[in-house]
Structure 1
Amino acid sequence: MSLQHITFSASNSEPPAGLIVTLHGWGANAEDVASLLPFFRLPNYQFVFPNAPYPFPDSATGRAWYDLRMENMFQGLAESRQLLTDWLQSLESSTGVPLSRTILSGFSQGGAMTLDVGLQLPLAGLIVMSGYLHPEIATATKSSFPPTLIMHGRNDQVVPLQAALKARETVEALGVATEYHEFDMGHEISPEMLEVLRKFVVNVMK
């Protein structure tokens, strides 16, 4: 089983400078994050926006990486983790871009999946927007991890700022090169956040 996804080629005719995969949050879908494409301002990159594998319980169009309702908390996570890992590893054959030139990013639940799966793969970088750590985040010692950007709103009422601080503390303790930014905003993706994202991408892809 693969992940349904939307892909956008680099806007020039050259091979892409890299690949950026962005994971949506709980109840959203690939189209939601794909609508932000013009604001990334990275025309030389190929973008891929996958749909999570599970239907969202409260919407006909929403998707979920796993259940977040209290009675079923984290149900489906193990399956999504394996599915996302296998799918990411298959992208080089379909895009021609190796994992070493691929950045995995995500918002909210997608940010949690980014940390969970991304730390286990030889990616160019990870970007976590308004995300959090899963309780059983892997702490296996590795010789190197992808550089990681964590961004969060100080006024986030959905995923409290404390979640970002905990994520930062945990990944730094693992030895991950971490860049951290807070913004005066809620649970959202802001233009300021995307500008920091753009600079991070350009820097790690040098």
Structure 2
Amino acid sequence: MTEPTDLLETVEHETAASPTHTVLWLHGLGADGNDFAPIVPQLVRPQWPALRFVFPHAPTRAVTINNGMRMRAWYDILDMNLAQRADEAGVDASVAQVEALIDREAARGVPASNIVLAGFSQGGAIALATAVRRREPLAGVVALSTYLPMPGRLARERTDAAASQPVFMAHGQFDPVVPHAGGQASAALLRDWGFKVDWHDYPMAHQVCGEEIDALAAWLGSRLG
């Protein structure tokens, strides 16, 4: 288990005392843990159990496609082509940091089976890269406006247990950052690997819309019981 000093800083919101479930939500490039915190009241339904939302801040690093500018990023972006986009060492480091946060939730009384791992864009890529290698399945995985990085390598490293994790994917049909076709291809590959993927797309760009939040709430409701 990772020591607490290695843990990422987080923003946290609890919907009631003594949470029994956790949603661990990873932001996109250049944002931070505050980015999706406002979604909590829009997303949560009164009948759900007590939840802890955990929004970590990604480390600050130089991003190649942004002329080396330093910003919060889960990994360096080397190229806009999805096949060469992800810096594998950065992905591995971020997956390890996410796993440390999952371990912390277990230490706080929330087992992996009660944790949903969510992410937008870069954060969604890390969520998927984490999920496919899990030996202890999570309650579910949410991947918004994103893609599966390192598919060839993850095809070798994925576990049989991981495929039991349900996946919610949503994407903008006019996304200029992560092409819609790239999201669809990732969903198809996950299905080939045995994952049950609930796919949604919307007439939008690289963003989140109200209809998407409603669909996600319905999906989460079935996961949270």
User: In the TM superposition, what whole-angstrom CA distance separates every residue of 1:140-182 from its partner, at most 9, and x where no partner exists?
Assistant: 3404431001100101111110111111111001101111111
Provide the TM-score with structure 2 as the length reference: 0.82
User: Aligned runs of 1:153-172 on 2, under 5 Å?
Assistant: 153-172=172-191
Percent of aligned positions that are identical = 29
Q: Does 1:30 align with 2:33?
A: yes
Question: Which among 59, 80, 84 is matched to residue 98 of structure 2?
Answer: 84
Runs of 4 or more above 4 Å deviation: 56-60
Does residue 1:132 correspond to 2:147, yes or no? yes
Summarize the Cα distance change of 1:72–1:119 in structure 2 as closer, same or farther, 3 Å threshold.
closer
Equivalent residue for 2:55, pick from 33, 40, 49: 49
Q: 1:103 aligns with which of 90, 99, 116?
A: 116
Quick one: structure 1 residues 55 and 205, their matched pair in 2 at CA, closer, same or farther if it must change by over 3 Å?
Answer: same
Q: CA RMSD in A?
A: 2.2
Deviation by residue 1:1-23 (Cα, 9 ceiling, x = unmatched): 1111011112x34x335211110
Answer yes or no: is the 8 Å Cα contact 2:117–2:127 preserved in 1: yes
Q: Is the 1:2–1:83 contact (alpha carbons within 8 Å) kept by the matching residues of 2?
A: yes
- Counterpart amino acid of residue 187 in structure 2: R
Whether 1:112 and 2:125 are equivalent positions in the alignment is: yes
TM-score normalised by the chain length of structure 1:
0.89
In structure 2, what is the Cα distance between the partners aligned to 1:83 and 1:141?
19
1:97 Cα offset (Å): 1.1
Contact 2:33–2:55 (Cα < 8 Å) also in 1 = yes
Could you tell me how far 1:69 is from its partner in structure 2? 4.0
Q: Which structure has more helix as a fraction of its residues?
A: 2
Distance 1:81 1:39, change over 3 A: same
Q: Which residue of 1 aligns with 2:13?
A: 8
Amino acid at match of 1:29: D
Q: Which residue of 1 aligns with 2:3?
A: none
CA contact (8 A) 2:117 2:141 kept: yes
Amino acid at match of 1:125: G
Contact kept? 2:86, 2:149, Cα under 8 Å: no
- 23, 28, 32: which one pairs with 1:20? 23
- Tell me the matched-pair count: 202
Runs of 5+ unmatched residues, structure 2: 1-5
Distance in 2 between residues matched to 1:72 and 1:186, nearest whole Å: 19
Q: Following the alignment from structure 2 to structure 1, what is the Cα–Cα distance between the partners of residues 85 and 185?
A: 24
Partner amino acid, structure 2, of 1:120: R
